[in-house]
Structure 1
Amino acid sequence: MKEIKIRVVTQNQVSQIFKNNNDFILNIVEDALRKWANDDAKLPDKISQIFDQNTQNRINCMPATIIPDKVSGMKWVSVFPANAPKGVQNVSGILLLSEIETGFPVAVIDGTLETRVRTAAVGTVAAKYLAPKNPRTIGFLGSGEEARMHFALLKHTFPTIEKCYVASRKSASEESFISELKEAAKDVEFIACNADYSLAASSADIIVTAISGQVPLLKAKDVKSGTLYIHVGGWEDEYAVALKANKIVCDDWNASKHRTQTISRMYMEGILKDEDIYADLAEIITGKKLGREKDDEFIYFNSVGLSFIDLNFANEIYKQACKLGLGQEVMLTETDAISYKNFI
């Protein structure tokens, strides 16, 4: 029997790898989507165990394979929106990485920070192709961890952003958002909207909804022409928002259509059809379809989360951890560790 060692990489160590490395983060997303477009990735169906239909408390099992890199694995991630009122994070997870020459596991990696970073990175990569030129204002509906990560990566990508509106159910959360980010973005004017979601959206060149609940907060009347809307979670906008869009782009429509997001609900109710979806993001990145073509286009971007992107992150984190000496090696299986007589 072969000895099997795995590398355990903690959240702090993942943070060390990501720190001041935004281009590395964004490149992982684009690389994964190009591999997907070239049929170099496998995306089995996600298994989602929903424990409460109202809150959408759930645990997802998300497998994937990246063929050229000879790795396979999965993300095991819990999404518990009901945690928010308790003051507890609503997303936590781990990444499991295996090589596919012998099939042995090689790493277990914290997936909580990776999920936060990956989600914002996908939205930011989409914005690279879909946002208006030189956006100056950004509006957030929701002010939690995901909103903050989106701001960080979007500001890195669009240094022209000079004004940020933030609306949340609690003014303390808005102030916390501003307090955490204003020192790092001194050239940005932050505006707390006191739960006025209309104010946060109506002046924004880029709108991001990142809320923990299932409430259609974004209204079509508050979306101006030329805006990019980044839809992060579940049901965050009224149906009229999608119907107003000149283009609807998804990270992957086939992975989205049977979920509980706004456009997924519209599809299942017969309001949207397959042909109403303009493109998947990989088609735009690879040049098969154009991104933004006109200044006055309103573009709706929907992200459901794709496990092959998570797996690409896991593989790059693992490689960096090995290079930098991060993580702890654990002997998972020792040679001849099994003595069958002990089972008699």
Structure 2
Amino acid sequence: MPEFHVVAGETVREVLSGKRSEVLDIVREAYRTHEAGRSVNPDSYFLRFPEKPDSRIIALPAYLGDDVQLAGIKWIASFPRNTASGRPRASAVLVLNDYETGYPVACLEAANISAARTAASAALAARTLRPTGFDGTRIAVVGGGVIARNISDYLEAAGCAPESYVVHDLHKESGEALVGHLRGTHGRTASFTPDLADALEAETVVFATTALEPYVSTRFRPGQLVLNVSLRDLTPETVLAADNILDDVDHCLKANTSPHLAEQLTGSRDFVTGTLAGVLNGEVTLTGERPVIFSPFGLGVLDLAVGAYVLEQARAEGSAITVPNFFGETSRW
């Protein structure tokens, strides 16, 4: 009978904080495994609340093969009103199951895992989709929360080093906090702008907001890279005027994401250029004649890949908590 472990949030943070390069590699390989069909990633399930239309709890079941060989599910809550009282918007747990027996083997605090895999995905896309690099360019970050902070950390780990950052947020204090993080932690030139239009002029624009519907109708110019992490900021017309790279086509074209709205508007998926794994594998080529928008819906297989790594490290360091007698019955008779 397998042991059951709990990995607390403090341990997750400690493991991940010094392992960003490793997490970037893990996310890249998870994308390739998924693209090759050696995974199972069903639709996410959204639990919504009539009296809280901005809030939801999402179930992301998945299985990842190759070196991981685990199934599992992330149960992540997104309650944007938490930020008004200084709490993070998202909280989550990740349950991992042994593939051979189906038995659960661990429960991990997963808000940090989710933020890390999201940020690593964005940074991997930035490095891959701007092969000329970031020298002499600006990166704009729209949204100043936990995901934005993690994305900035992973951009640095991925070697995406711009000349400067500009941050825009409707909540000035949050935007200024991210500016302080960029300056203090990474030694970068960074400034806050209250003008969204100014941020949208940057060579790379990162959206990390809690927007529920599109508000950006700007047509980006050739050479610009847009990391559409929050998925609902862009009008469908803006999406259609760009080359579009997704993490998974079927997953991204649902739940009224900006790409999904573009599909509804045109009745076609012809605007989709390909997947990030396709670019990584050399199967998708970008011409540079149009802006590039990367839209990652967020795949459960990424949570499994990063969660499996965290569990392995925590077990090796002795910081995973063993729960004795977790299973009520250990034999059939």
TM-score norm. by structure 1 comes to 0.89
Q: Are residues 52 and 166 of structure 1, via their aligned partners in 2, closer, same or farther at CA, if it must alter by over 3 Å?
A: farther
Match of 1:156 in 2: 157
Compute the displacement of 1:120 (Å).
1.0
Amino acid at match of 1:149: N
Amino acid at match of 2:311: Y
Match of 1:301 in 2: 294
Separation in 2, partners of 1:20, 1:318: 15
Amino acid at match of 2:28: E
The alignment of Structure 1 onto Structure 2 pairs a total of residues equal to 329
- Contact 2:182–2:190 (CA under 8 A) maintained in structure 1: no
Are residues 1:183 and 2:177 paired?
A: no
- Contact 1:167–1:192 (CA under 8 A) maintained in structure 2: yes
Separation in 2, partners of 1:50, 1:264: 19
Are residues 1:283 and 2:281 paired?
A: no
Q: Are residues 248 and 139 of structure 1, via their aligned partners in 2, closer, same or farther at CA, if it must alter by over 3 Å?
A: same
Q: Are residues 91 and 17 of structure 1, via their aligned partners in 2, closer, same or farther at CA, if it must alter by over 3 Å?
A: same
Amino acid at match of 1:39: G
Match of 2:173 in 1: 172
Query: What do the CA deviations read for 1:53-95 (whole angstroms, capped 9, x no partner)?
Result: 9843111111111233331111011112333334332111100
Q: Are residues 293 and 324 of structure 1, via their aligned partners in 2, closer, same or farther at CA, if it must alter by over 3 Å?
A: farther
Separation in 1, partners of 2:16, 2:94: 16
Residues 78-87 or 168-177, more deviating: 78-87
Match of 2:29 in 1: 31
Match of 2:110 in 1: 111
Separation in 2, partners of 1:266, 1:255: 14
Separation in 1, partners of 2:263, 2:24: 30
Q: Are residues 181 and 168 of structure 1, via their aligned partners in 2, closer, same or farther at CA, if it must alter by over 3 Å?
A: same
Match of 2:307 in 1: 314
Separation in 1, partners of 2:301, 2:282: 20
Match of 2:7 in 1: 9
Q: Are residues 197 and 237 of structure 1, via their aligned partners in 2, closer, same or farther at CA, if it must alter by over 3 Å?
A: same
Match of 1:253 in 2: 249
Q: Are residues 220 and 272 of structure 1, via their aligned partners in 2, closer, same or farther at CA, if it must alter by over 3 Å?
A: farther
Identical residues among aligned pairs (%): 23
Match of 1:328 in 2: 321
Compute the displacement of 1:161 (Å).
0.8
2:294 alignment partner, SS class: strand
Q: Are residues 43 and 335 of structure 1, via their aligned partners in 2, closer, same or farther at CA, if it must alter by over 3 Å?
A: closer
Are residues 1:199 and 2:193 paired?
A: no
Match of 2:222 in 1: 225
Compute the displacement of 1:215 (Å).
4.5
TM-score norm. by structure 2 comes to 0.92
Amino acid at match of 1:181: L
Separation in 2, partners of 1:235, 1:141: 13
Are residues 1:142 and 2:143 paired?
A: yes
Separation in 2, partners of 1:140, 1:117: 17
Q: Are residues 153 and 256 of structure 1, via their aligned partners in 2, closer, same or farther at CA, if it must alter by over 3 Å?
A: same
Q: CA RMSD in A?
A: 2.2
- Contact 2:182–2:189 (CA under 8 A) maintained in structure 1: no
Separation in 1, partners of 2:261, 2:25: 31
Gaps (5+ residues) in structure 2? none
Separation in 2, partners of 1:238, 1:70: 39
1:56 alignment partner, SS class: strand
Separation in 1, partners of 2:250, 2:327: 39
Compute the displacement of 1:182 (Å).
0.9
- Contact 1:140–1:201 (CA under 8 A) maintained in structure 2: no
Separation in 2, partners of 1:44, 1:182: 40
Gaps (5+ residues) in structure 1? 340-344
Match of 2:126 in 1: 127
Compute the displacement of 1:170 (Å).
2.1
Amino acid at match of 1:12: E
Amino acid at match of 1:255: H
- Contact 1:55–1:81 (CA under 8 A) maintained in structure 2: no
